Structure 1
Amino acid sequence: MSDPIKHECGVAMVRLKKPLSHYQDKYKNVLWGFQKLFLLMEKQHNRGQDGAGIGAVKLNMPPGEAFMFRERDNGRNPISAVVKKQMKLYNELLNKGTIFPEFPDTVKEHWPFGAEVLLGHLRYGTSGGYSKSVCQPYFRRSPWPTRNLMMAGNFNITNVDQLNQKLINRGAHPIFDTDTQTVLEEIGYHLDEEHTRLYHELRDQKTPTPEISHIIADRLDVGQVLRDAAESWDGGYTLAGMIGSGDTFILRDPNGIRPAWYFEDDEVIAFASERVALMTIFDKAAEDIHEAPPGHAVVVKNDASLHIHEITKPGKPSYCSFERIYFSRGNDPDIYRERKALGAALGEQINRSTKGDFGKSVFSFIPNTAETAYYGLIEEMNRLHRSNVKAEILKAHKNGSLDEEMLNGLMDNNWPRGEKVALKDIKLRTFISQEKNRVQLASHVYDISYGAVNPGDILVCVDDSIVRGTTLKQSIIRILSKTKPSKIVIASTAPQIRYPDCYGIDMSEMGNFIAFQAAISLLKDAGSTHIIDEVHEACVAQSELAPEKMVNHVKRIYDPFTAEQISERIADLVSPKNNGWDGEVEIVYQSIENLHRALPNHDGDWYFTGNYPTPGGYAVVNRAFMAYYAGRKGRSYS
């Protein structure tokens, strides 16, 4: 993605099924579980840049001993920071003779993360601020193990205001900083209720007091707690949690918007946001990794038994297509194949853009994450050319005009040519405040391979997606135009992004979308600005309705125009002016139909179509347009 849209959050959890002594004996590594957690986080580093945190639960600790721990950081390299801090403590304890790896119980007793249950989180903030205090996991403390809750997630809840009001109506005083805090308190409330119910039941049965805590831990119905808590949530979420008694869970939204994967063997149960991370770190095959079912929780009890509970009734599957287009790591076998398919699906449009003159065309990609799609496009262009050559040979053979010279010409000429044209030089820091200087810096983020493109060639560059178009205008097209092509074609593997996301991706300000800017520009040129006012009036009129009764009136902004007309206006908006290059810019977008063909199991497309999978999405798009109309900046969700 050429525009600097940050990634989603990521979660990782490791539940050791054996005591620490097993891993010391077998692997000569008492830190086996901790290191697996660290590696899982590193393999998902693409998912978070704002902060990181880790948590731990130690099983069967004696009464009075600490059993839950947490470390968080929001610095420059947060994963390394939290791990280095704990490893520094580990080595200090080792040097003092306080712990001995060959005696794992000493590590468990004295080192905070010498634990059987480990949770990791990579944060990209879509609500709250960016301080260390809002880094996850969040921790709800109690002297009772079964009332302690630590939680992290990849999610955004669209109706957090209503949930906070629900807490207030119970007499609670929630902290209004993030939806994570709201969800934590809601689960915590029902965890307290279940704990209290079990306590009174056992007390009334005259159960000896020292045994009550252990029995509550065994009987605690985590599935029912989550069922009660999640009853009225609206949004996309993958939540990972640990209870002080050792129970753990991962919970997925009913539409499967946010991803969650897990596996189990005889030594460990592990969870992650991306399948390939589990495959790589634990040396597993794709078929060993299971997807958490939408609307379900995968619960691991304190005895390491795994259970799957339906928490909310599963809805229509709406798996986020951006996970496949861009966010997730591309070395997952299915994602790699799908990204190639996305590139190949652009073939017919690119064939028209180049008029089939492959000999005078150069194919490339920008940024590096678009490389896999580029391979798919090149393969498709070669296929198209082979088909053309075959047709010419058959025609010449039929006419009796086929000879060696003609055959050599057909075989040797007009093949698609791929080059590494653009590359990211450095990530320049935007510490200079003046807008003019920021633009000048942006123009140097990318560099080109000089001589890779001949003057007059058509230069085709594949991009994952085009959100704001800012980087295209300020940097990419300017630098590509230095090669003096006759035409620059930017081909997006994603369709036009027209509507805000509210489920964990930071794409919420409607006025920032280049497709929306293009549609508004076309309306103004057509003298149809009354449509803008009418849409605003319709949004205001339904703003007090329940989200379930709302419709997406913003679609009317786009209705008068074809996708091609909007693409043409986008090309005009991002074309450099007065830079000495007089070539043409064309922007090619993936069609919705081809998107679904390339991603048959991930049809969540609300940011392209405006068809949201939950009622809260319609409330967000309504607020987003009203904010645009009023000139207000900022996210349109909590």
Structure 2
Amino acid sequence: MCGFIGIIKLNGKDVAEELVTGLLSIQHRGQDSSGIITSDRSRFHIKKNAGLVSNVFSRSDVKSLKGNVGIGHVRYSTIGFDIENDSQPFFVNYPFGIALAHNGNIANYEEIRSSLEKESHRQLTSRCDAELILNVLADEMSRISGEFSIGKVFDSLGPLMKKLNGSYSAVAIINGHGLLAFRDPNGLRPMIFGKNDSGFIFASETVVLNLLDYTYIRDVKPGEAIFIDNNGNIHSKIIDAREKTPCMFEWVYFARPDSTIEGRSVYDVRLRLGEELAKRWDKDVDVVIPVPDTSRTAAMGFAKAIGAEYREGLIKNRYVGRTFIMPAQKKRDNAVKLKLNPITSEIKGKKIALVDDSIVRGTTSKRLVSLLRKYGAREIHLVVTCPPIKYPCFYGIDIATRKELIASDKSVEEIRKFLGADSITYQTIEGLKRAIGMNSICTACLTGNYPTNISETDISRFEKIREGERSRVV
């Protein structure tokens, strides 16, 4: 999962400062690297590197990023192993000069890369699938001769969407011509479209629009492309729409609670996730404690519904990153030790309902149960807002192999014993859909039913590749 922003300002002013500010608001979507590229209509200006936004961009960097069109990106890796080299955005010189960043994951990366290298003689310099998408787009556009036209851009996206198997919400600069945005045919990854008096914006979450004073227009539709030209004219076309299946994990875990995705408040959905869990609750507890930060809202909804007290029993060290999106298990283990510290008075001698958004690998849950036992908890009942995660994700969530998913080969009772909890109550898939308010969502990591064409052979190949990449993380 990553975060992106694309802005075109019609008043001619530089866009870099807005991009940096906006990226800070979606830093939670990626901590590995940060990058910005701008265009002054004659050339690109780029700065990207491994690290957080605040560490990558200096005041002098912002001043040097000239241009009224720009895209910014924060990344966490679900493919590749060289964090610095895989940083987004990427650009190519021909045709026209195109720069691109995206959020998502291309499941048939190896096949498409091989085709680009052997048939189109394009050499990729990274393992990042944004560079792959960029080269597919450039290759298709180069096949259409003649002067630039928006129709030719849209014509190029048809073959692109047929070739790419996976998820992508992408923003691209066509140098000297405008800003392009396009979303995969299933709408797996979010993309927001907004405007203000000085220009237009695309972003991963509405929180960016709120911060930068843009008005929300709508979500970009599945399979849609939108092009904003230098005069501010909006050109849009549905290129290849299929069944809309946005990723449920955006509401469960990834997005900020103050964002809205597909017209549904993340905060409200998380409240309802807690309320749905309360319908299945039959135990007596003294307090409901969330695992901060993502689970707070659901824990409040759950506590109110069961008539129990809500308490903050775990304090988060805000200078430690999100453990789920760290690229290697050893980093996650160390981070969990530093991340959370208990408040003894809220734990000792109490029966606790511990609310968490999900149990993926079990790293955090096992550590927390042990920690709460150490500080005198009488009982610990895990309450999980997401159903058991059993299958790898091909669409941009770092759930790469079945063997690292605790629910892939264990029953709920076996998971309970392994974690050392007194009980575990998982969300149901039906409850998840009711809370989100959509029946058609991507639940592939829960059910193994992928909205795009993913075979058992694909799963095995992907798992092998990702294991090899993780062993080489730079």
Report the TM-score when normalising by structure 2: 0.89
Q: CA deviation at 1:491?
A: 0.7
Aligned residue in 2 for 1:291? 219
SS in 1 for 2:345: coil
Q: How much does 1:574 deviate?
A: 1.2
Q: CA deviation at 1:428?
A: 6.7
- Partner residue, 2:133: 183
Aligned length: 459
Conserved in 2, the CA contact under 8 Å of 1:499 and 1:621? no
- Structure in which a larger fraction of residues adopt strand: 2
> Is residue 2:259 matched to residue 1:332?
yes
Of the candidates 378, 394, 405, which is equivalent to residue 513 of structure 1? 405
Q: Indicate yes or no: 2:409 matched with 1:460.
A: no
Within the candidate set 119, 139, 143, 2:91 is matched to 139
Gaps of 5+ in 2: 324-328
- Counterpart check, 1:309 vs 2:284: no
Q: Any idea what SS the aligned residue of 2:157 has?
A: helix
**Which of residues 410, 422, 445 is equivalent to 1:607?**
445
Quote the Cα distance in structure 2 between the aligned partners of 1:249 and 1:617: 32
1:163-182 equivalent positions in 2, closer than 5 A: 163-175=112-124, 177-182=127-132
Q: Matched residue of 1:121: which SS?
A: strand
Change (3 A) 1:426 1:45: closer
CA 1:309 to 1:509, structure 2 compared with 1: closer, same or farther past 3 Å?
same
Q: Which amino acid aligns with 1:479?
A: L
Q: How far 1:151 moved relative to its partner?
A: 0.7
SS in 2 for 1:503: coil
Match of 1:118 in 2: 70
Matches of 1:124 and 1:162, distance apart in 2: 23
1:16 aligns with 2:16: no
Q: CA deviation at 1:633?
A: 5.9
Q: Helix, strand or coil: the match of 1:349?
A: coil
| Larger-Rg structure | 1
Q: Which amino acid aligns with 1:10?
A: G
| Aligned-partner Cα distance in 2 for 1:585–1:234 | 42
- Structure 1's 362 and 237: CA in aligned 2 closer, same or farther, altered over 3 A? same
Letter in 2 for 1:148: G
1:281 aligns with 2:126: no
In 1, are the aligned partners of 2:150 and 2:227 still within 8 Å (CA)?
A: no
Task: Quote the offset at 1:345 in angstroms.
Answer: 0.9
Q: Which moved further from structure 2: 365-374 or 319-328?
A: 365-374
Q: 1:484 to 1:80 in 2, by over 3 A?
A: closer
Q: Secondary structure at the match of 1:118?
A: strand
Q: Say if 1:167 and 1:186, in contact at 8 Å, map to a contact too.
A: yes
Alpha-carbon distance, 1:117 to partner: 0.5
Cα pair 1:275 1:289 within 8 Å, conserved? no
Q: Counterparts of 2:242 and 2:153 in 1: how far apart (Å)?
A: 22
Within 1, Cα distance between the matches of 2:12 and 2:458?
A: 47
Give a deviation string over 1:359-380, Cα, whole Å, max 9, x none: xx21111122111111111221
Q: Distance in 2 between matches of 1:436 and 1:341?
A: 34
- Within 1, Cα distance between the matches of 2:82 and 2:330? 27
**Which of residues 139, 154, 157 is equivalent to 2:103?**
154
Q: Quick one: which amino acid aligns to residue 236 of structure 1?
A: S
**Residue of structure 2 in register with 1:348 after alignment:** 279
Q: 2:196·2:214 contact (CA, 8 Å) conserved in 1? A: no
Does residue 1:84 correspond to 2:59, yes or no? Answer: yes
Amino acid in structure 1 at the alignment position of 2:78:
T
Distance in 2 between residues matched to 1:186 and 1:445, nearest whole Å = 41
What does 1:261-280 correspond to in 2, within 5 Å? 261-280=192-211
Partner of 1:132, secondary structure, is coil
The aligned amino acid for 2:134 is: L
For 1:43, the aligned partner's letter is: S
Residues 282, 163 of structure 1: alpha-carbon distance in 2 compared, 3 angstrom cutoff: same
Q: Report the alpha carbon displacement of residue 618 of structure 1 after superposing the two structures with TM.
A: 4.9
Cα distance, 1:615–1:36 mapped onto 2, change above 3 Å: same
Tell me if structure 2 keeps the 8 A contact 1:493–1:589. yes
* Compared CA separation, residues 427 and 69, structure 1 to 2 (3 A): closer
Sequence identity percentage? 26
Following superposition of structure 1 onto structure 2, how do residues 25-44 of structure 1 map, counting pairs within 5 Å? Answer: 31=14, 33-44=15-26
Shift of 1:169: 4.4
Give the secondary-structure state (helix, strand or coil) at the position aligned to 2:408.
helix
2:160 equivalent in structure 1? 229
Instruction: Tell me which of 222, 236, 247 is aligned to 1:320.
Output: 247
Structure 1 stretches of 4+ with a deviation exceeding 6 A read 435-441
Q: In structure 2, what is the Cα distance between the partners aligned to 1:604 and 1:119?
A: 27
Give deviations 1:483-520, integer Å, cap 9, x for gaps.
433320111100000000011111112111111242xx
TM-score scaled by length of structure 1: 0.67
Say if 2:47 is the partner of 1:47: no
Query: Contact conserved, 2:23 with 2:72, CA < 8 A, in 1?
Result: yes
Which whole-Å CA distance do the structure 2 matches of 1:183 and 1:441 have between them?
33
- The structure that is helix-richer by fraction is 1
Deviation track 1:504-551 (CA, whole Å, cap 9, x = no partner) reads 111112111111242xxxxxxxxxxxxxxxxxxxxxxxxxxxxxxxxx
Letter in 1 for 2:209: L
Equivalent in the alignment of 1:362 = 287
Q: CA deviation at 1:122?
A: 0.8
- Matched residue, 2:326: none
- C-alpha distance in structure 2 between counterparts of 1:51 and 1:324, whole Å: 23
**Structure 2 residue 214 is matched with structure 1 residue 376:** no
C-alpha displacement of 1:166: 2.6
What residue identity is the alignment partner of 1:276? V
